[in-house]
DNA sequence: TGCATGTCAATGCATTTGCATCTATAACGG
DNA sequence: CCGTTATAGATGCAAATGCATTGACATGCA
C-alpha cells in the first residue's frame, strides 16, 4: 500500500528543510527589527560594513562583491542607492580609469553603527538566546562543513 | 588602538553568517541542478508536493499557504503559473463560494517526480556527503532549536 | 432578515531583480 | 603601435515581488 513512495524524507532533506526555516526565521527577525527602528535593510548593513573596512582611501566594487555574494549588477545598484542616501561617495579611480573608488561617509559610518546595535540585539534574541550552553561552537562547526 | 570597536564578532553573529552561507550554498546547488535538467524551480516543487498531498479531492490555497511560508499573493500567482503550465486545475469550490479547490494533474505529478530525483541527488551532494557519520541528527537537532 | 465585519483569493501598481548587453578602459600579443 | 581580448562597472528591459486594495462570499450579531 505504498509507504510514501516518492516523497521520501531522508536525513539530508530534513536538514535542508530545517536549515531553510532557521535561516528564514533569523533573517525575518533581523529585518523586522531594523525596519521597526526605521533603519535600512541588512543588505545595506553588509555593504556599509565592507566599505568601512576599507578605511579612508576607500576600495573597489569588485573587492566588495567578492565578500558579499551579490551579483555584480546587484551591488552596482545597491551602491547607487547608498550614494544617493549620502552614505557613500564614488570617486573616479586614479589607477584604473574603468573603476571607481568607494569611500564611506561619516553619515554612512553613523548609520552603520546604529544598525549594528539593533542587528546585534535581534541576533541575540534569534540565535544566542536559543542555544543553551556551549552548543554554539558545535553548531558553528557543523554549519562550516556545509560550506 | 581600538580592537574592532564596533564590528564585534560574537558567536551569534558567526553562526548567523555561516547559516546564511550554508543556506545559500545548498539552495544554489539545488536550483542549479534543477535548471540544468530543464526543470522548474524549487518553489514549484514545494507547491506541487503540497498539492499532491491533498489527493484527488484537492485542497484549498490557504492550507498550502500555511505549510509553504509564501505570502498570500505569492502563492496565488504561483498557482496561476502552475495552472497555466497544466500542472494544476483550480475548480470552483462547492462548500465555499469564495475559494477554489486545487487539484494536481497527472502531468503535475509526473514533473514533481522527475524533479524529486534531481532534487534528491543535489541534496545528497550538498548536504549528505558533507556530513560524516552521525553528525546529521546532531545538526538537525541544533537547527531545530532556532525555530 | 439585514448590516457590519471577517476571510479567500486575485490584481493594479510601484519597486526590485535577473539577464543580457553596453561603454570605457586595461592588458596582451604580434 | 595597433588590433584583439579581458575586465570594471552601469543600464535597458522583461520578469518577479511587495504592498495595498478589491471583489466575492461567509459569518456573527442585533
Give the structural domain span for B54. 25-127
Which pLDDT value is given to residue B8?
55
Torsion of CA A52, A54, A57, A63, to 10 degrees: -120
For residue B26, the chain A residues in CB contact (below 8 A) are 16, 19, 146
Measure the CA–CA gap between B120 and A4, rounded to whole angstroms. 15
Backbone angles phi, psi at B21, to 5 degrees: -65, -45
Opening angle at CA B107, ends A4 and B94, nearest 5: 85
Residue B37 covered by a domain = yes
Which nucleotide's C1' is closest to A90 (Cα)? D9
pLDDT tens digits along B92-124: 999 999 999 999 999 999 999 999 999 999 999
| CA of residue A91 to C1' of nucleotide C10, angstroms | 47
DSSP annotation of A59: B
Residue A76 covered by a domain = yes
Which pLDDT value is given to residue A6?
46
Residue A32 covered by a domain = no
Residue B87 covered by a domain = yes
State the total domains in chain B.
1
The residue of chain B with its CA nearest to that of A70 is B24
How far A78 CA sits from the closest chain B CA (Å)?
A: 19
Instruction: Reduce the DSSP state of residue A143 to 3 states and report it.
Output: helix
- CATH code where residue B48 lies: 1.10.10.10
Give the model's confidence band at B4: pLDDT under 50 very low, under 70 low, under 90 confident, else very high. Answer: very low
pLDDT tens digits along B77-86: 999 999 999 9
A positions 60-119 inside 8 Å of B (CB) = 69, 113, 116
Q: What cell does B41 get? A: 524551480
For residue B104, the chain A residues in CB contact (below 8 A) are none
Residue B135 covered by a domain = no
- Written as one string, the DSSP assignment of chain B is --SSSSS---HHHHHHHHHHHHHHHHHHHHHHHHHHTT---HHHHHHHHHHHHH-TT-B-HHHHHHHHT--HHHHHHHHHHHHHTTSEEEEE-SS-TT-EEEEE-HHHHHHHHHHHHHHHHHHHHHTGGGS-TTHHHHHHHHHHHT-
- Strand extents, DSSP E, chain A: 88-92, 100-104
Residue A131 covered by a domain = no
Partner residues linked to A101 by β-bridges: A91
Residue B1 covered by a domain = no
In 3-state terms, chain A is what percent helix, strand and coil (to 5)? Answer: 65, 5, 30
Residue B18 covered by a domain = no
Per the CB < 8 A criterion, the answer to whether B21 and A132 are in contact is no
Which pLDDT value is given to residue A133?
78
Which pLDDT value is given to residue B121?
94
Residue A41 sits at the chain B interface (C-beta within 8 Å)? no
Number of Cβ within 10 Å of residue B132's Cβ equals 8
Tens-of-pLDDT digits for all 147 residues of chain A? Answer: 444 444 556 899 999 999 999 998 999 899 989 988 989 999 999 999 999 999 999 999 999 999 998 999 999 999 999 999 999 999 999 999 999 999 999 999 999 999 999 999 999 999 999 998 789 999 999 999 988
| CA of residue B11 to C1' of nucleotide C22, angstroms | 44
Amino acid at each position: 500500500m505504498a509507504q510514501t513512495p516518492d516523497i521520501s524524507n531522508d536525513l539530508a532533506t530534513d536538514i535542508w528543510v530545517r536549515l531553510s526555516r532557521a535561516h528564514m526565521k533569523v533573517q525575518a527577525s533581523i529585518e523586522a527589527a531594523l525596519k521597526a527602528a526605521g533603519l535600512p535593510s541588512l543588505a545595506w548593513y553588509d555593504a556599509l560594513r565592507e566599505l568601512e573596512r576599507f578605511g579612508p582611501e576607500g576600495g573597489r566594487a569588485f573587492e566588495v562583491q567578492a565578500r558579499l555574494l551579490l551579483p555584480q549588477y546587484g551591488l552596482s545598484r545597491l551602491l547607487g542607492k547608498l550614494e544617493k542616501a549620502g552614505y557613500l561617495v564614488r570617486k573616479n579611480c586614479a589607477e584604473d580609469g574603468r573603476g571607481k573608488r568607494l569611500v564611506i561617509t561619516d553619515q554612512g559610518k553613523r548609520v552603520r553603527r546604529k544598525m549594528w546595535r539593533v542587528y546585534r540585539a535581534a541576533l541575540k534574541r534569534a540565535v544566542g538566546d536559543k542555544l543553551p550552553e556551549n552548543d554554539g561552537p558545535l553548531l558553528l562547526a557543523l554549519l562550516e562543513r556545509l560550506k
